[in-house]
């Protein structure tokens, strides 16, 4: 996948996504596989995004590398790959460090189940917390950019449960 940075971890809507893609030169995107620059539109697919009380389908662009022809989804800082919970909500959940705060998050986001909230908290503690601390990385507006720079993957991206790879 290719993540377009600089738009912050907050808020995600189709309008927002389309505007950012419109202003992105696909010929300047770098292929994460072969590292050549230059992609073209390959296809679109939709993925679920859980927002407040509801969820919606976000239409996501898939580009193909002009050199190796591998295809990659184009995501934003505000999206956690393979998760329907947006980055903004994911970060709010991570900061819920008491059962009272977890309950508050649960009531705020009517579309989230308790088990999803606990899964995010467990994943953070198991896979991210110590790594962030050891590199002195803060969970702030640059978390996505810093995570990719240091760990080569989007913040809170969880490895595949079958093969253990990060996709």
Q: Is 101 helix (H, G, I), strand (E, B) or coil?
A: helix
The minimum distance between CB 29 and Zn ion, in angstroms, equals: 10
Among 5, 11, 27, 33, the residue binding Zn ion under the rule CB under 5 A is 33
- Cβ-contact 144, 87 below 8 angstroms: yes
- How far lies 95's CA from each of 18, 41, 100, in Å? 30, 37, 12
Taking the least distance from each CB to Zn ion, the nearer of 10 and 37 is 37
Counting contacts by CB under 5 A, is residue 2 touching Zn ion? no
Please state, as a whole number, how many other Cβ atoms lie within 10 Å of the Cβ of residue 90. 23
The minimum distance between CB 81 and Zn ion, in angstroms, equals: 18
Beta bridge partners of 61: 44
Taking the least distance from each CB to Zn ion, the nearer of 66 and 119 is 66
d(CA 43, CA 80): 20
The minimum distance between CB 33 and Zn ion, in angstroms, equals: 5
Counting contacts by CB under 5 A, is residue 31 touching Zn ion? yes
Taking the least distance from each CB to Zn ion, the nearer of 24 and 55 is 24
CA angle 127–132–136, rounded 5-degree value: 165
| 62, two tokens | 């898939």
d(CA 46, CA 75): 12
The minimum distance between CB 72 and Zn ion, in angstroms, equals: 8
Place of tokens 């490895």: 159
- By rule CB under 5 A, what string of x and - marks binding of each residue 52-81 to Zn ion? -------------x-xx-------------
Counting contacts by CB under 5 A, is residue 108 touching Zn ion? no
Counting contacts by CB under 5 A, is residue 34 touching Zn ion? yes
Counting contacts by CB under 5 A, is residue 27 touching Zn ion? no
The residues that touch Zn ion, with contacts defined as CB under 5 A, are 31, 33-34, 65, 67-68
């Amino acid at each position: 996948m290719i993540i377009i940075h600089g738009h912050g971890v907050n808020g995600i809507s189709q309008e927002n996504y389309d505007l950012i893609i419109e202003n992105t030169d696909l010929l300047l995107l770098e292929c994460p596989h072969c590292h050549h620059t230059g992609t073209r539109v390959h296809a679109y697919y939709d993925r679920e995004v859980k927002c407040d009380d509801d969820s919606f389908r976000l239409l996501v662009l898939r580009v193909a590398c002009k050199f190796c022809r591998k295809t990659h989804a184009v995501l934003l800082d505000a999206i956690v790959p393979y998760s329907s919970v947006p980055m903004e909500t994911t970060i709010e959940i991570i900061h819920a460090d008491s059962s009272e705060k977890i309950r508050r998050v649960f009531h705020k986001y009517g579309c989230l189940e308790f088990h999803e909230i606990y899964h995010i908290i467990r994943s953070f503690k198991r896979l991210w917390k110590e790594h962030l601390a050891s590199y002195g990385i803060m969970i702030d507006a640059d978390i996505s950019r810093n995570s990719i720079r240091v760990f080569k993957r989007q913040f809170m991206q969880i490895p595949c449960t079958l093969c253990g790879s990060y996709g």
